[in-house]
Structure 1
Amino acid sequence: MATLFPNEFVYSGFMKPSRFEGDIFELEVEGEVPAHLDGTFYRVGPDPAFPAKSGKDIAFNGDGMVTTFTFRDGHVDFKSKYALTDKLKLERAARRSLFGAYRNPFDDDPSVQGQIRGTANTGIQLHGGRLLAMKEDSPPLEMDPITLDTVGYTNFGGKLTSKTFTAHPKVDPKTGEMFAIGYAAKGEATRDLAYYVISPDGEIIHEAWLEAPYSGMIHEFVIGEDYVAFPLTAVTSDIERLKKMDVHFRFDPSKDSYVGVLPRYGRGDEVRWFSGPNRFAQHFANGFQEGRRMHLDAPVAHGNAFPFFPDINGAPFDEEKSLCRLTRWTVDLDDNECKIVETVLSPATGEFPIVDDRWQGRPYRTHFMMVQTPGQAFAQGKKMIFRTIAKIDVTNGETIYHTGPDEVIFQEPIFIPRSPEGPEADGYLAFLITHMTGQQLSELWLVDTADFAAPPIAKVKLPIRLRPGLHGEWYERSFIEQQVRIGRARAGANLMTSDR
């Protein structure tokens, strides 16, 4: 039977799979792209190649589509290619879905039991000579940073012993080291957490194993100069639920929130877990150390913010409690009671925060976040629709909004520095928009952070519609070229060994 996507929300309208692979040279531009921008915006998101095995699924369970926008001399070129995971190769051979529901291996076709079922659809990172497409239920998938051809899953020369790897690694801008975790590191719904430090040339130089207080999502973490901190909130998993074909994650309002703090190069038995009230928080865009205190900044809700991860008791989705406000969690290593102290930094409500990554793990001032603003539509099922981005000063709460017209929706932005050595948050936000009318074509908008509320300085137009993506990164051309050299040097040194 030929492929036909069902008339479900995740396969319809602006969510309809694009499945476009190809190059578009010289995109149309309305306005002016700054001529000094010389680099590439890498982006990844779920774009199902086949309908779900059951006909229904959540939007996050799609095959990873990696896209790039390459800037040079005021011009922009585009490339799009699937992350060719083991899952996608097997399903292409069968011309149908073989893998079942989101993160449930018990729902897979018997022919693919035991295969890596990751989709490489959540995060993208260029580090140590590898372009990594990542989803946190599997090892990272390496792709060529220029052609986007898939190399294959990497285990960092055999040193990655965890079954899973974060979709949100953190890179220290001073040392060039990359920090990573894997939760459910010994298999789905386990409490095991693996922690890694990876050198600038792509070698794992430190590993630690520890156990979380309960089995749940640790989607992101933060780094400081001496410590790392792992936040655990009540989006829980349970192996018995999976065996019953229930959803993987459910929000449990009875669970406390936790932050585990570990020295940067610490052993697993050195972790200290700090507790706080039941909260929802997943995207920790930044954190930093202040003496013996660690600060973690994220949009935080007093209830479940993701309706596709339902309440464990079947309670209805509470829209008021789902609203996330930019909040700082502070843990003090001299606090014998090990409690989380919570401070709201802005009344703006939203999700998907970013910062200037040159200040990653250091005291900073500016936080960008996609928000719902007064007068905008908000309803269950449309929770992830945004038309506004906030620029928030975390030192005083001052907030400036950039708002688009009602007929477009925004995707998560990235920050591009005006110059590599320039001040914090001085540069541009780049983000995709989708027109909700007509052919629903996509555009890439550039907003100058120095005049944040003003209209975009450039609108880069695509002749296609891109399905909403997840996360992305900006890299200067000189850095990309350096990473290509590192990757080629390692490939030459490892001709007689396997890294996969």
Structure 2
Amino acid sequence: MDRRRFLAGLGALTLANAARADRETFRRFHAALERNPSLGVFADTVGSQLGEAVVAGRIPQDLQGSFYRNGPGRFELGGERYHHWFDGDGFVQRWTIVDGRVRHQGRFVETRRYLDESQAGQFLYPSFGTYVARRGFRDNDTLNAANTNLVPLGGRLYALWEGGSAYEVDPETLATKGVKTWRDDLRAMPFSAHPKCDPQGGMWNFGALPGSNRIALYQIGADGAVLRTGLVEVPRQAMVHDFVVSSKHLIFLVPPYDLKDGKELSFAERHAWAGGGPAARPMRVVVVAKDTLAVRQVFELPPRMVFHFGNAWEDGACTRFDTVLHEGDVLSDLGGLMAGEQRANAQGRSEAVQICLDYGARQARVSRLLGPSEFPRVSPLVVGARHRRLVLLGSDQHKSPARLDTVNLVDLDSGKVDGYRFGADWQVEEHVLVPRRNARLETDGYLVGVAQDLKKGVGVMTVFDAARVNAGPVALARLPYRTPHCFHGNFLSA
């Protein structure tokens, strides 16, 4: 892989000569927090966490293992506050379930950025949504926040960002072991926070660097060895956060953004939405064949933004996959959270859909699954194959793109939704399906996640019977403290 050519645009994308993390955002957030304590979900976290949860209900006896989670935890330093939710330093968490008891631990990933800025007592480097350039940087990994996902593979555990390398952390203690270089020529290459398990073992992943017009592809074995790499040309490529994998294809959605030039602009601010007006560009569906790692076909859809996918499977001469589509540019809506703003209607413009790619007709057809929603997940039993259940978080409040309060399991055959609403005083994080041992059905197991009790200001692990979500949680494991709001994670059964 031509690493140098792929990374050539990095300096042009992020070099700057001033600092724009500011005290005004800090002041506005803390003023808003005094008026609305529920914003504590986005407050700064200081130090490690360790505690025993009090369980209400009963943890099923056959549910044993570790629920690993990751998300941004540090937003403030030296009296300044980041401008975007995606900027915070990674705070990894482990909820350990043993014999009906639940123990929690959390600590920061000690990235190069985290250590340098902790020592300096101020932000030094550019981040996704905040323009800072007090100190120069060597490569992507100087900027790595390791704040998006926590993925177990082959007995090891990796904290993932998307613009740089994975960081390995200890599966038991969560202590940082260091940067993971999959192969010498892949050092500091972008490595997405959304790798996909391969039913044959190992995983697939990609790396996207906006402005490079290329996406790097990786196939990694169960032992962590790189099996194959590739590069595909994707012109006018901006932010690509996730992808989906079927038995034959890797599928990417490319939203219509232009990248603006300009000093003193953060990476997020450089994204100019090109999906509106008479010159609106479509969203592209780029399909890559697994056997050749070459683009097979490109489809077009109406302009939308996308973050996350569910699953993909081959249906005769077509490929079907699930995703959540957002109207317009939601990046700025999410950015307002750091100043205590919860902008209305952003989440109301999303919907979960299933897309059918008809290769013969060269058409992509879209079917609606659910209204305002995010964080689709499927059972690990069906990744890359036909699935009949899709986990989605949802909301009927439309208050903010980050404010989700319902957990749903959608039946893709009937359209019926088996859901549970926590209510206005809760904020729900991603939930995952955990199969029972020797399970064959997607609902034969548990739905496990985390929810923030906003009224009491504490983190709570939730457990549902996957066959009866509407009956409510069978157990709530409540901590005596607030946990940072996580983006993604995975359950590793004991």
**What TM-score, normalized to structure 1?**
0.84
- Of residues 297, 308, 315, the one that matches 1:283 is 308
Aligned match of 1:408? 426
Aligned match of 2:384? 361
* 2:45 aligned partner, one-letter code: S
- Of residues 115, 130, 148, the one that matches 1:122 is 148
SS, match of residue 450 in structure 1: coil
Question: Structure 1, residues 187-231: CA drift from partner, whole Å, max 9, x if none?
Answer: x53221000110111111111101213122221111111221112
Q: Where does the alignment leave 5 or more consecutive residues of structure 1 unmatched? A: 311-316, 478-500
How far apart are the structure 2 equivalents of 1:129 and 1:103? 34
How far apart are the structure 2 equivalents of 1:251 and 1:396? 36
Aligned match of 1:214? 236
**Structure with higher strand content:** 2
- Of residues 149, 165, 172, the one that matches 2:191 is 165
Alpha-carbon contact 2:311-2:383 (below 8 Å) kept: yes
Alpha-carbon contact 2:92-2:174 (below 8 Å) kept: yes
Aligned match of 1:89? 115
Return the offset for 1:108. Answer: 2.0
SS, match of residue 26 in structure 2: coil
Question: Structure 1, residues 434-483: CA drift from partner, whole Å, max 9, x if none?
Answer: 22224x11211111122211121111111110121100100112xxxxxx
- Of residues 232, 240, 244, the one that matches 2:261 is 240
Alpha-carbon contact 1:124-1:132 (below 8 Å) kept: yes
- Of residues 304, 308, 312, the one that matches 2:333 is 308
Aligned match of 1:432? 450
Aligned match of 2:250? 228
Aligned match of 1:18? 45
SS, match of residue 269 in structure 2: coil
Alignment CA distance shift 1:428-1:321 (3 Å): closer
How far apart are the structure 2 equivalents of 1:67 and 1:120? 13
Aligned match of 2:205? 180
* 1:451 aligned partner, one-letter code: R
Alpha-carbon contact 2:165-2:187 (below 8 Å) kept: no
Alignment CA distance shift 1:320-1:436 (3 Å): closer
- Of residues 284, 298, 307, the one that matches 1:258 is 284
Return the offset for 1:393. Answer: 0.8
How far apart are the structure 1 equivalents of 2:330 and 2:427? 19
Alpha-carbon contact 1:251-1:309 (below 8 Å) kept: no
- Of residues 46, 60, 77, the one that matches 1:51 is 77
How far apart are the structure 2 equivalents of 1:247 and 1:202? 35
Alignment CA distance shift 1:241-1:124 (3 Å): farther
Q: Is 1:7 aligned to 2:27, yes or no?
A: yes
Alignment of 1:436-475 (within 5 A): 436-438=454-456, 440-475=457-492
Return the offset for 1:20. Answer: 3.9
How far apart are the structure 1 equivalents of 2:72 and 2:442? 31
* 1:204 aligned partner, one-letter code: V
Alpha-carbon contact 2:26-2:76 (below 8 Å) kept: no
Aligned match of 1:492? none
Q: Is 1:339 aligned to 2:363, yes or no?
A: yes
* 1:278 aligned partner, one-letter code: P
SS, match of residue 92 in structure 1: helix
Alignment of 1:470-489 (within 5 A): 470-477=487-494
Alignment CA distance shift 1:17-1:318 (3 Å): closer
How far apart are the structure 1 equivalents of 2:371 and 2:273? 23
Alignment CA distance shift 1:207-1:460 (3 Å): same
Aligned match of 1:107? 132
- Of residues 105, 112, 128, the one that matches 1:79 is 105
Aligned match of 1:32? 58
Aligned match of 1:486? none
Alpha-carbon contact 1:415-1:427 (below 8 Å) kept: yes
How far apart are the structure 2 equivalents of 1:321 and 1:82? 29
Alignment CA distance shift 1:271-1:87 (3 Å): farther
How far apart are the structure 1 equivalents of 2:239 and 2:119? 32
Q: Is 1:370 aligned to 2:390, yes or no?
A: no
SS, match of residue 194 in structure 1: strand
Return the offset for 1:406. Answer: 2.3
**Identity of matched residues, %:** 23
How far apart are the structure 1 equivalents of 2:196 and 2:287? 15
Q: Is 1:138 aligned to 2:164, yes or no?
A: yes
Aligned match of 1:496? none
Decide which moves more: 8-17 or 39-48: 8-17
How far apart are the structure 2 equivalents of 1:259 and 1:53? 43
SS, match of residue 193 in structure 2: coil
Alignment CA distance shift 1:52-1:283 (3 Å): farther
Q: Is 1:272 aligned to 2:297, yes or no?
A: yes
Return the offset for 1:265. Answer: 3.3
* 1:361 aligned partner, one-letter code: G
Aligned match of 1:189? 211
Alpha-carbon contact 2:436-2:446 (below 8 Å) kept: yes
How far apart are the structure 2 equivalents of 1:259 and 1:46? 29
How far apart are the structure 2 equivalents of 1:57 and 1:216? 20
SS, match of residue 13 in structure 1: helix
Aligned match of 2:317? 292
How far apart are the structure 2 equivalents of 1:152 and 1:329? 39
* 1:455 aligned partner, one-letter code: G
How far apart are the structure 1 equivalents of 2:270 and 2:200? 37
* 2:102 aligned partner, one-letter code: V
* 1:474 aligned partner, one-letter code: F
Alpha-carbon contact 1:445-1:460 (below 8 Å) kept: yes
How far apart are the structure 2 equivalents of 1:251 and 1:426? 42
Q: Where does the alignment leave 5 or more consecutive residues of structure 2 unmatched? A: 1-21, 34-38, 336-342
Aligned match of 1:392? 410
How far apart are the structure 1 equivalents of 2:181 and 2:281? 34
Alignment CA distance shift 1:319-1:461 (3 Å): closer
* 2:132 aligned partner, one-letter code: D
